[in-house]
Amino acid sequence: MDLNQTAGSDYDVLVVGAGSAGLYGLHLLREKGLRVRVLEQGSGVGGAWYWNRYPGARLHSESHSYQFFFDPELLEEWDWSELFAGQPELERYFNRVADKHDLKKDIDLDTRVVSMTFDEGADIWTVRTDPERTYTARVVISATGPLSAPIYPDVPGLDTFVGESFHTARWPREPVGFAGKRVIVIGTGSTGVQIIPQVAKEAAHLTVLMRTPNWVVPLNNRVLDVHDMASIRAGYPDLRKYLATTFGGFLHNPGSRPTTTYAPGELKELYETAWQGAGFTKYFGMPYDVLADETANRHFADFVAGKIRARVNDPQVAELLIPDHPFGAKPVDCESAVYQGDGFGYYEVFNQDNVDLVRISVNPILEIVAEGVRLADRVVEADLIVYATGFEAFVGSLNRIDIRGVGGMALRDRWADGPETYLGIAVSGFPNLFMIGGPHGKGGHDNSTRCAEVPLQWIADLAEKVARQEYRRVEPDPAAERDWTDNVIAAGNANLMSKAKSFLYGDNVPGRPRRYVAYIGALPAFVDRLRQVEADGYAGFVLTESGPESRPKSLSE
């Protein structure tokens, strides 16, 4: 029999978002024989790698550690061209996954979810979209991405500028040329650090408007040849297991030997070796105390500051670029352009005659005007403004949807003082709604595909129980939710990351209260917790069982 004749809904599960998590979620749910529809606001799949198509957009995780591991055939077939793949290759990869598994037939593109309403009588979610369509399902899985709701500077006049302007996360598909143009880049986070060298090598003039400098390290990317791929491929079985044991699903994991046990010369050598290493070697691959202890952190930060001073010719400019927060207090940025000797590093940009750096914390942006940006002391004229100003992370993509749970409660009201979740996966009062990549869940600023793998399997198992009406409703017990939220916030506040403002604390968004919105625990501990919750009969959840009469016949017989 058709499960949905009894279920009374169009679908068993609706998934919002066709990024990496949405695609894997769809695959898992279809394997279970469930009727699934994915709703995606973009015109293509790939999520972050569909939207962030600005020049320089690139992975911080090694390509082979970031890919999916569920399809052995694809692992054999797919060759990565660079150790850290760029956006075009990643978009091709996710399209390849979707095509190979025929996922696109279950995805509605160009479909933005506007509202979700829980029908308490029927225990069914009604989802409305733009363009106007209505879908119903027992379960909704939000896979909207932790960094997908772009923010712009909160200054007047954004619409008055007569030139071109783009947020990096809304970059057009058609190439945008920089040659001969006067360009302003606002923002020097990971995105700004990636695009600034690309602009600087072509633009007639570039003005970088920097509010806070951050620590930037070389990515040390390289091209992968057939021999590299052969040896990477030979390691796949062990790699998948290893990545499940690391803190953030990265290849790099904090060392257990603290810096205090190294002789000064040994430590210097360790720093230098790490500096030459790939990607996050010098972030998550350092002795553990570098990211945990202020003295160890300052020592390493001084080393990095020395690197900046050595590369920036003008000492005053170098000092402007050296952060005063601990190393890693804001997520560390990687300069992606330095490899194969092309010489275009982030810091070298500030030696170029066509580049100006303005620290807007002392010379603020007053407004955007027709000809450019008005600062406190002058107007900077431009042909193109690039907003590399980041995201309302974790909660933004959910809060931009009108989500109504039990009693018509709006999720955005419920979270007015900051999000509350259980396991980063569910919210009390919003039954049968599960989140991946939302607040307080593992994966927000980690190797996201690795960190989402087990949670998605876990969510899919639970979603199946609801879809098959083993449970009519699944939602957190408010006490368990309170406990999880309090613990996550306490851990976030006890960390060195609390020494800076960032999207991890929500205070990069004007008017938002500072409250930790990410998750600081290690991946293995998070996975253990999920498994324990399941083994204990979904401890911390309130499970409303269905009577036999409401179950699909095929299951209740």
Nearest CA-CA partner of 36 in 10, 3, 8? 10
How far, in Å, are 152, 187, 374, 385, 520 from residue 371 at the CA level? 18, 19, 9, 10, 43
The reply on whether position 318 binds ligand NA7 by CB under 6 A is: no
Helices (H), 178-246: 190-200, 226-234, 236-243
Q: How far is the CB of 189 from ligand NA7 (least distance, A)?
A: 2
Q: Residue 486 is inside which H or E element, if any?
A: helix 478-493
Which residue in the set 147, 460, 488, 517 belongs to the binding site for ligand NA7 (CB under 6 A)? 147
Give the separation between CA 370 and CA 377, rounded to whole angstroms.
Answer: 17
Cβ atoms of 518 and 424 within 8 Å: the answer is: no
Which token pair is 291? Answer: 């990211």
Cβ atoms of 358 and 212 within 8 Å: the answer is: no
Site for ligand NA7 in 353-372 (CB under 6 A): 360, 365
- Only one of the segments 16-24, 132-140, 184-192, 240-248 lies at the binding site for ligand NA7 (rule: CB under 6 A); that segment is 184-192
Q: How far is the CB of 453 from ligand NA7 (least distance, A)?
A: 18
Which token pair is 69? Answer: 């591991």
Give the separation between CA 20 and CA 48, rounded to whole angstroms.
Answer: 8
Q: Residue 115 is inside which H or E element, if any?
A: strand 112-119
Give the separation between CA 199 and CA 165, rounded to whole angstroms.
Answer: 14
Which token pair is 9? Answer: 């809904």
Using DSSP, state whether 383 is helix, strand or coil: coil
Q: Residue 436 is inside which H or E element, if any?
A: none
Give the separation between CA 433 and CA 16, rounded to whole angstroms.
Answer: 11
Q: How far is the CB of 8 from ligand NA7 (least distance, A)?
A: 41
Which residue in the set 87, 95, 253, 389 belongs to the binding site for ligand NA7 (CB under 6 A)? 389
Which residue in the set 189, 218, 279, 418 belongs to the binding site for ligand NA7 (CB under 6 A)? 189
Which residue in the set 421, 447, 508, 546 belongs to the binding site for ligand NA7 (CB under 6 A)? 508
Q: How far is the CB of 389 from ligand NA7 (least distance, A)?
A: 4
Q: How far is the CB of 186 from ligand NA7 (least distance, A)?
A: 5
Any idea what DSSP says for residue 177?
-
Using DSSP, state whether 5 is helix, strand or coil: helix
Cβ atoms of 541 and 477 within 8 Å: the answer is: yes
AA identity, residue 288: Y
The reply on whether position 104 binds ligand NA7 by CB under 6 A is: no
Q: How far is the CB of 87 from ligand NA7 (least distance, A)?
A: 12
- Only one of the segments 24-32, 61-69, 186-194, 414-422 lies at the binding site for ligand NA7 (rule: CB under 6 A); that segment is 186-194
Give the residue with the Cβ less far from ligand NA7, 396 or 429: 396
* Residues binding ligand NA7: number (CB under 6 A): 22
Helix axes 523-535, 448-467, angle to 10 degrees: 10
Counting DSSP H helices and E strands in the chain, the numbers are 19, 20
The reply on whether position 390 binds ligand NA7 by CB under 6 A is: yes
Which residue in the set 329, 349, 384, 388 belongs to the binding site for ligand NA7 (CB under 6 A)? 388
Any idea what DSSP says for residue 172?
-
| Cα 90-241-83 angle, rounded to 5 deg | 30
The reply on whether position 153 binds ligand NA7 by CB under 6 A is: yes
The reply on whether position 192 binds ligand NA7 by CB under 6 A is: yes
Give the separation between CA 74 and CA 504, rounded to whole angstroms.
Answer: 34
The reply on whether position 509 binds ligand NA7 by CB under 6 A is: no
Give the residue with the Cβ less far from ligand NA7, 109 or 360: 360
Q: Could you count the other beta carbons within 10 Å of the beta carbon of residue 105?
A: 6
- Only one of the segments 37-45, 232-240, 387-395, 464-472 lies at the binding site for ligand NA7 (rule: CB under 6 A); that segment is 387-395
Which residue in the set 37, 211, 442, 473 belongs to the binding site for ligand NA7 (CB under 6 A)? 211
Give the residue with the Cβ less far from ligand NA7, 182 or 211: 211
Q: How far is the CB of 165 from ligand NA7 (least distance, A)?
A: 14
Q: Could you count the other beta carbons within 10 Å of the beta carbon of residue 296?
A: 21
Give the residue with the Cβ less far from ligand NA7, 70 or 166: 166
Q: How far is the CB of 315 from ligand NA7 (least distance, A)?
A: 22
Q: Dihedrals φ, ψ of 59, to 5°?
A: -65, 150
Which residue in the set 187, 248, 418, 506 belongs to the binding site for ligand NA7 (CB under 6 A)? 187
Residue 390: half-sphere exposure toward Cβ, Cα within 13 Å: 25
Q: How far is the CB of 158 from ligand NA7 (least distance, A)?
A: 11
The reply on whether position 186 binds ligand NA7 by CB under 6 A is: yes
Which residue in the set 35, 445, 472, 515 belongs to the binding site for ligand NA7 (CB under 6 A)? 445
Site for ligand NA7 in 402-441 (CB under 6 A): none
User: How many residues are present in the chain?
Assistant: 557
Which residue in the set 65, 126, 129, 188 belongs to the binding site for ligand NA7 (CB under 6 A)? 188
Q: Which residues pair with 374 in a beta bridge?
A: 367, 379
Give the residue with the Cβ less far from ligand NA7, 244 or 360: 360
Residue nearest to ligand NA7 (CB): 189
Q: How far is the CB of 375 from ligand NA7 (least distance, A)?
A: 11
Which residue in the set 111, 190, 447, 469 belongs to the binding site for ligand NA7 (CB under 6 A)? 190
- Only one of the segments 189-197, 242-250, 299-307, 484-492 lies at the binding site for ligand NA7 (rule: CB under 6 A); that segment is 189-197
Q: How far is the CB of 153 from ligand NA7 (least distance, A)?
A: 3
Q: How far is the CB of 317 from ligand NA7 (least distance, A)?
A: 17
Give the separation between CA 46 and CA 28, rounded to whole angstroms.
Answer: 17
What is the contact surface with ligand NA7 in residues (CB under 6 A)?
147, 153-154, 186-192, 211-212, 331, 360, 365, 388-390, 445, 501, 503, 508
